[in-house]
């Protein structure tokens, strides 16, 4: 099938043959969610609802965010443009200050007859969801826009703190008596009400869950699923950080060396993350159940994504803002009814900027011409086909810029500014990224090849 025939087929498929209606989109996001999920092969985390979504959709095993921080990542995904264009290089920056006329992903659907609504975090907002400036949720993108709060925002005195007092971005956890009324359960309940109310019209519904973002507040029953003595410690090597540039270690330096936590505290922190993930998974499952109960599943494209990765002690680092695999790689599942690839995994390199053109194509909409991703629709039909040659991630802090390129085999990182340098990792022999080959003369040829690809940029990496 040539490209013209494929696009014609997608346009025809944008209207369900069963219902004669435009396809709906259910857009599910998790905050600070890495790939520690059952469907991605994690041996400890229990995520039955995300797993069942993966079983009926395409699970992307090599998906990457454009910036491992909430605000920049979400601005990039929702506009289909990379951080160099959005100019969002930190949280609480409004992309409209730089791109006032940009049509966002939900806004495209809103402008074309879909009911566009969000419950929870889609663009950046304060966490956990108590009060947020409306402009950071881009009210223009939605007919309905709500950030449901919860009691976890009001219990700082009850939280167990793991990292030393005074440490910025401390690790905090709390086994709550119940999940009723928490931000994520409220978001699920309100999203279900919207599904019921708007079931007879095409909709783009964004549901943004706050967990497993800190603090790790989840009902005690989810903590009970993870006895502390079953929580594995991260695998690290002595001298692991000796061969990386100083600029890499200058990004939030208090997040390295396990933030001063003991082995028991490390297990408690990982346990809190797992429990929060399972709690979020249960809320996501409630929304999926409602979709099926209302007989909307066969006419709804479901997308699940986590906004960036999250370190759980790998390389002795915690949280985000790293350019290594654990921080740049993200979970991404797309379930499009009738797609031939459903139930399969995809090893092709994809990026968050690819979601916007993908959903536009699947729903027969003309995407803006200035998007910087490419449609993954063909991968939903044939997950084994080749796609991009590389995926790109970046960060910025102080006067330092870091940029990473992930190819099928290698990760190449370039740091510019004080303490700058290069990193190169061979994922065929070093999946944990412990040995920086950029410093080894034997890797000179590979390093030159990666530099050349990197300098050619993302346009040259397109399929």
If you write DSSP's letter for every residue of 150-161 in order, what string do you get? Answer: -GGGG-GGGPEE
Given a contact cutoff of 8 angstroms between Cβ atoms, the answer to whether 104 and 112 are in contact is no
Beta-ladder partners of 133: none
Active site residues: 70, 124
Length of the chain: 463
Beta-strand pair 58-64/329-335: antiparallel
Given a contact cutoff of 8 angstroms between Cβ atoms, the answer to whether 303 and 358 are in contact is no
Residues in contact with 100: Cβ distance below 8 Å, sequence separation at least 6, in sequence order? none
Half-sphere exposure of 288 (CA within 13 A, CB side): 20
If you write DSSP's letter for every residue of 396-410 in order, what string do you get? Answer: EETTEEEEEEE-SSE
Taking the C-alpha atoms of residue 227 and residue 224, their distance in angstroms, rounded to an integer, is 6
Given a contact cutoff of 8 angstroms between Cβ atoms, the answer to whether 106 and 116 are in contact is yes
Half-sphere exposure of 67 (CA within 13 A, CB side): 26
How far, in Å, are 250, 292, 356, 450 from residue 320 at the CA level? 13, 35, 24, 25
């Amino acid at each position: 099938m040539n490209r013209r025939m494929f696009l014609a087929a997608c346009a025809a498929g944008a209207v369900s043959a069963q219902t004669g209606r435009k396809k709906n989109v259910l857009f599910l996001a998790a905050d600070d969610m890495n790939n520690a999920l059952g469907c991605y092969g994690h041996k400890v985390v229990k995520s039955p609802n995300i797993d069942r979504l993966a079983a009926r959709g395409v699970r992307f095993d090599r998906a990457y965010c454009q910036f491992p921080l909430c605000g920049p990542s979400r601005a990039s995904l929702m506009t289909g443009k990379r951080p160099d264009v959005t100019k969002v290089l930190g949280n609480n920056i409004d992309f409209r200050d730089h791109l006032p006329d940009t049509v966002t992903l939900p806004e495209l659907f809103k402008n074309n007859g879909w009911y566009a609504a969000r419950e929870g975090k889609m663009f950046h907002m304060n966490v956990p969801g108590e009060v947020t400036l409306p402009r950071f949720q881009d009210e223009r993108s939605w007919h309905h826009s709500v950030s449901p709060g919860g009691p976890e925002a009001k219990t700082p005195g009850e939280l167990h703190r793991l990292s030393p007092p005074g440490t910025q971005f401390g690790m905090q956890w709390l086994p709550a008596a119940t999940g009723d009324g928490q931000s994520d359960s409220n978001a699920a309940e309100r999203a279900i009400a919207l599904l019921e109310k708007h079931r007879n019209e095409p909709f783009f519904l964004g549901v943004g869950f706050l967990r497993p973002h800190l603090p790790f507040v989840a009902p005690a029953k989810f903590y009970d699923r993870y006895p502390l003595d079953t929580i594995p410690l991260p695998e690290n090597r002595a001298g692991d950080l000796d061969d990386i540039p100083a600029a890499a270690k200058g990004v939030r330096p208090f997040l390295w060396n396990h933030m001063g936590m003991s082995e028991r505290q490390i297990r408690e922190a990982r346990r809190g993350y797992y429990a929060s993930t399972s709690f979020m998974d249960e809320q996501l499952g409630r929304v999926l159940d409602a979709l099926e109960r209302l007989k909307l599943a066969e006419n709804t494209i479901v997308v699940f994504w986590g906004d960036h990765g999250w370190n759980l002690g790998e390389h002795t680092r915690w949280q985000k803002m790293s350019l290594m695999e654990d921080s740049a790689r993200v979970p991404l599942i797309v379930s499009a009814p009738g797609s031939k690839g459903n139930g399969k995994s995809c090893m092709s390199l994809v990026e968050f900027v690819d979601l916007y053109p993908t959903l536009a194509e699947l729903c027969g909409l003309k995407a803006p011409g200035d998007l910087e991703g490419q449609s993954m629709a063909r991968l939903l039909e044939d997950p084994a086909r080749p796609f991009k040659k590389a995926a790109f991630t970046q960060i910025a802090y102080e006067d330092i810029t870091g940029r990473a390129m992930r190819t099928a085999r290698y990760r190449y990182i370039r740091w510019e500014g004080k303490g700058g340098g290069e990193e190169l990792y061979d994922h065929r022999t070093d999946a944990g990224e412990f040995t920086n080959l950029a410093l080894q003369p034997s890797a000179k040829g590979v390093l030159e090849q990666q530099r050349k690809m990197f300098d050619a940029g993302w346009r040259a990496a397109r399929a």
